[in-house]
Amino acid sequence: GTTVDFRDSKRSIVIANTKKVTSGFNKFEERNASSRVDWTNIAITALGTISRGDFIATDNATINLISCVFSDMGTFGFLGNSTITGSVFRRCNLVTQSSSTITGCTFDSTNDATRAVLCNDPTKISGCTFLSSGTKHGVEINAAGTYNWVDNTFTGYASVDGSTGNEAVYNNSGGAVTLNIGAG
């Protein structure tokens, strides 16, 4: 839990195909709310499938990810002090929003079993592109309410409401969700 100030840009990281380890072996974890992580133009690619590399905000540190590309990685868990802008999540596992701000990002062919993004506040997701892997939801909303949702686009998802598992938006809040679509 020591405070970390981790600022870097224009780096490429490869997560090796580590065998004989647990799934959580390769992990970036922020465990102090006073920490700060600023990454710009960072590309991280996982080569294996056992420990793909997770990025988890355990405590509500200030995290700014700008124009990053994450390919074939594991789970991402953000909190309210996280801002993700113009980044790409390609074939990654679940991205959990938890009140973080996500703007202009691309979620391409999620590797999660059911959805690309777990969302508790749709107003903080804008200008994003969701590309279906063919069998999973784009966004699962888990908090009932009325939200303004601006400029998000979905490609390859089911064209009608239903239960195919490939819907753009899945309401799993236990209540009513109203999305006021501003554009997109």
pLDDT digits (tens, 9 = 90+) for 17-37: 988 999 889 999 999 999 999
Separation of alpha carbons 160 and 30, rounded Å: 40
pTM: 0.95
In 3-state terms, what secondary structure has residue 21?
Answer: coil
Q: Enumerate residues 6+ apart whose C-beta is below 8 A from 30.
A: 4, 37, 56, 57, 58, 59, 61, 63
In 3-state terms, what secondary structure has residue 76?
Answer: strand
Residues 100-151: pLDDT tens digits?
A: 999 999 999 999 999 999 999 999 999 999 999 999 999 999 999 999 999 9
Q: Which amino acid is at 87?
A: S
Token digits for 88?
């790409």
Largest CA distance in the chain: 49
Q: Which amino acid is at 8?
A: D
Q: Which pairing describes strands 137-141 and 169-171: parallel, antiparallel, or unpaired?
A: parallel
Can you give the pLDDT at residue 162?
A: 79
